[in-house]
């Protein structure tokens, strides 16, 4: 059990971007990917992605060129690391040279409080050195049905925070994931406080004292006048805090 074993096998949770492929035509894929990547070239560069093929279940394996698809994705400087399929034994799944996970039910079943999809790497994989366990976890969001009063603080650990009511001035709502406010945001809202830069804040009326996404914050004074009192979302784009009307 000593640490001099050289390796340690552990379960872990990582967040990856998922690329949903819904076409078998490499040319269309190429075009669509170019579109996406162009929106934020720096953001996507060398990003590991889970290739989600669950939308291609009905496609014939004959018309699907897995190698062409992968090379197309790599050409756009994305790194496919694993393929998500609904059936590991389908012809489509077996033709792809990537580790497979069964992800067909993911996202569809949200009534269960916590759902973990685990898949060990198959031996036939071309990446034999990898021995990690890939886990997806959906944690129930924290739901508050009352207004948050001045001086109160609410923190949703490892999940979304949903508030059915307003957040008073001097109140603080904090989440590791997204913050949704079905009311006016008059206090402070902080999302992605443990570093998740893809999280967002949504509110029905933006009157906030401060908003922050993964540590990038803005005060009310720097929020454009025309957005105040309007439904808005706040998110991070290349370390730049974006505020947009909903």
Partner 1 sequence: MTKTIVVTSGKGGVGKTTTAASFATGLARRGFKTVVIDFDVGLRNLDLIMGCERRVVYDLVNLVNQEASLHQTLIKDKRIDNLYILPASQTRDKDALTIEGIARVMHKLKKSEFDYIICDSPAGIEKGAKMALYFADEAIVTTNPEVSSVRDSDRILGILQSESKRSKMNEDPVKEHLLITRYNPGRVKDGQMLSVDDIVDLLAIPLLGIIPESPTVLESSNAGKPVILDDESQAGQAYADAIDRLLGENKPHRFMEAPKKGLLRRLFG
Q: Is 162 in the site for partner 1 (CB under 8 A)?
A: no
- Residues 133 and 11 sit within 8 Å (Cβ to Cβ): yes
C-alpha distances in Å from residue 32, one per residue of 22, 44, 72, 75 = 11, 14, 11, 13
Q: Residue 18: beta bridge partners?
A: 50
With respect to partner 1, which residue has the nearer C-beta, 5 or 145? Answer: 145
* Beta-strand runs (E) in 36-91: 47-52, 78-85
Q: Is 26 in the site for partner 1 (CB under 8 A)?
A: no
- Residue for token digits 């894929």? 29
Query: Minimum CB separation from partner 1 for residue 245, in Å?
Result: 21
Kindly tell me which of 26 and 165 has the beta carbon lying closer to partner 1: 165
Q: Is 146 in the site for partner 1 (CB under 8 A)?
A: yes
Selected binder of partner 1 within 15, 118, 130, 150 (CB under 8 A): 150
Pairwise CA distance, residues 227 & 206, whole Å: 7
# chain residues binding partner 1, by CB under 8 A? 14
Per the DSSP assignment, residues forming a β-bridge with 201 are 179, 234
Q: Is 231 in the site for partner 1 (CB under 8 A)?
A: no
26, 104, 165, 231: residue in contact with partner 1 (rule CB under 8 A): 165
Sites of contact with partner 1 (CB under 8 A): 146-152, 165-166, 168-171, 186
């Amino acid at each position: 059990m000593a640490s001099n074993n050289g390796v340690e096998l552990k379960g872990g949770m990582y967040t990856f971007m998922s690329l949903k492929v819904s076409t078998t035509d490499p040319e269309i894929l190429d075009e669509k990917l170019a579109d996406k990547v162009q929106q934020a070239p720096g953001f996507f560069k060398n990003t590991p992605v889970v290739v989600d093929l669950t939308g291609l279940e009905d496609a014939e394996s004959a018309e699907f060129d897995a190698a062409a698809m992968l090379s197309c994705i790599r050409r756009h400087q994305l790194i496919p690391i694993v393929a998500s399929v609904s059936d590991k034994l389908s012809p489509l799944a077996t033709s792809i040279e990537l580790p497979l996970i069964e992800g067909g039910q993911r996202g569809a079943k949200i009534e269960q409080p916590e759902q973990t999809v685990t898949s060990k790497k198959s031996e036939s994989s071309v990446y034999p050195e990898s021995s990690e366990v890939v886990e997806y976890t959906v944690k129930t969001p924290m739901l508050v049905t009352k207004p948050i009063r001045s001086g109160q603080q609410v923190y949703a650990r490892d999940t979304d925070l949903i508030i059915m009511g307003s957040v008073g001035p001097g109140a603080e709502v904090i989440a590791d994931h997204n913050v949704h406010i079905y009311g006016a945001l008059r206090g402070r809202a902080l999302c992605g406080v443990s570093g998740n830069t893809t999280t967002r804040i949504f509110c029905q009326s933006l009157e906030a004292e401060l908003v922050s996404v993964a540590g990038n914050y803005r005060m009310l004074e720097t929020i454009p006048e025309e957005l105040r009192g309007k439904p808005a979302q706040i998110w991070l784009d290349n370390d730049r805090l974006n505020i947009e009307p909903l």
